[in-house]
Amino acid sequence: MHIPIQNIYYLLCYAWNKLEEQDQAAVSIDDQTSLLDLFAKVLNNATRILLKRGIDRSYVEQTTEISGIKGKLAISETLKRNILHQQRTVCVFDEFSPDILTNQILVSTLRKLIRVKPLDKGLKLESRQLLYMFPGIRPITIKPSHFKQIRLNRNNRFYHFIIKVCEIIHQNILPGEEAGTYQFADFTRDERKMNQLFEHFVFNFYRLEQNTYKVKRDNIHWQFETEDDLSKSHLPRMQTDITLISNDEKIIIDAKYYRETMSAYYGSEKIKSGNLYQLFSYLMNQESDDPKTKRTKGILLYPTIEKEYDLKYAFRDHPIEIRTVNLNDDWRRIRKRLLEII
């Protein structure tokens, strides 16, 4: 499934819940832009905006040899170095510094980008020039755990967008054939990653673009009867991708990403049975004393780039729909289609 680069960018910005920053860090994208060049453009542009705003600083603990005493004296290390006769000591003190994790991740990602061979030469030059604007910031070997350590506030919230771009670059850059070089993996070919992206995109799209429904992920409890706690503990967790609730209506949307929307069966197209079973299970087990749960609508939502589907069924009072959204379309029509579906 080939999705235009511009639309990939929109999907990511919705999934990250960063539409405001997406507008501020807007870049010119055409069909010739590669995914790698897209992320390099976005990161370079966002970094320039960050530099104009001012990079974040914080107090960082330093242990260093100095003249005199500052902060806490490290006695054992001072004696070990035998420097007291020079009126020098080893001290531990806090210094207000830009050498903090957010900036280290940004600098390390820019350094890695310029070593990816297929990257556009102009973008590579821009990234290298931006690196000169971050003196005194040490590069680090980025690990997935680093992204979990970051805590942002309203004063440095623009870093959230930058760190998201850095994270997706980090996740998809692999060692190249030559030592010290890297290559970029096209994550749009990974059905598992694209399924996660599509689900988060749809969730945040409905959360941001309409105000009729409250949007959440709903934990549904199995309506099986058992007096055995051990048996109950072995039941799998059941959580919806997207649940929309208003005062008098409830909709459960199961967002699924596949390269092929339908299954082929002896030359004919069929709905993927596992998806239908899952949606049906949601509808049956979510029923309660609340009248709207007796008529909850279930929607299987798939992306497509060619053929649209609008299939409608019903079980008792539950409408069941199979709907698609064409991700190869103009973004305004994609938005209109998603709003029409609900």
Check pLDDT > 90 for residue 107: yes
What is the percent of the chain with per-residue pLDDT over 90, rounded to a whole number?
A: 46
The Cα–Cα gap between 22 and 12 comes to 9
Structure tokens at 303: 């992306």
Binned at pLDDT 50, 70 and 90, residue 183 comes out as confident
Average pLDDT over residues 120-127: 92
Q: CA gyration radius for the chain?
A: 26
Give the pLDDT band (50/70/90) at residue 334. Answer: very high
Higher-confidence position of 20 and 79: 79
The torsion angles phi and psi of 322, rounded to 5 degrees, stand at -115, 110
| 3-state SS, one letter per residue, for the chain | CCCCHHHHHHHHHHHCCCHHHHHHCCCCCCCCCCHHHHHHHHHHHHHHHHHHHCCCCEEEEEEEEEECCCCEECHHHHHHHCCHHHCEEEEEEEEEECCCHHHHHHHHHHHHHCCECCCCHHHHHHHHHHHCCCCCCCCCCCCHHHHHHCCCCCCCCHHHHHHHHHHHHHHHEEECCCCCCEEECCHHHCHHHHHHHHHHHHHHHHHHHCCCCEEECCECCCCCCCCCHHHHHCCCCCECCEEEECCCCEEEEEECCCCCCCEEECCEEECCHHHHHHHHHHHHHCCCCCHHHHHCEEEEEEEECCCCCEEEEEECCEEEEEEEEECCCCHHHHHHHHHHHC
Q: pLDDT at residue 26 above 70?
A: no
Model confidence band, residue 1 (pLDDT cutoffs 50, 70, 90): low
- pLDDT over threshold 60, residue 74: yes
Give the whole-angstrom CA distance, residue 253 versus residue 323: 10
Q: At residue 314, does pLDDT exceed 90? A: yes
pLDDT at position 232 over 80: yes
Q: What residues are paired with 73 via a beta bridge?
A: 91
pLDDT tier, 73 (very low <50, low <70, confident <90, very high otherwise): confident
Which pLDDT score is estimated for 20? 60
For residue 248, is pLDDT > 70? Answer: yes
- Give the pLDDT of residue 44: 92
Output the pTM of the full model: 0.80
Q: Are 138 and 104 in contact (CB under 8 A)?
A: yes
Q: Which of 27-41, 129-143, 314-328 has the lowest mean pLDDT?
A: 27-41
Residue 30 pLDDT = 60
Distance CA 142, CA 108 (A): 7
pLDDT band at 240 (very low <50, low <70, confident <90, very high): very high
Percent of the chain at pLDDT exceeding 70: 94
Q: How many CB atoms lie within 10 A of CB 187?
A: 15
Q: Are 5 and 33 in contact (CB under 8 A)?
A: yes
Residues 203 and 217: their CA atoms lie apart, in Å, by 9
Structure tokens at 309: 């589907």
pLDDT tops 80 at residue 181: no
Q: How far is CA 65 from CA 68, 94, 100, in A?
A: 9, 14, 21
Both tokens of residue 244?
């929309």
For the chain, which domains are there?
Answer: 5-56+99-186 (no CATH), 58-97 (no CATH), 191-341 (3.40.1350)
Query: Do residues 69 and 92 make contact, with C-beta atoms less than 8 angstroms apart?
Result: no
Q: Are 152 and 70 in contact (CB under 8 A)?
A: no
162 closest CA partner among 58, 43, 54: 43
18 pLDDT more than 70 = no
At residue 29, the pLDDT reads 59
Least confident segment among 95-104, 179-188, 196-205: 179-188
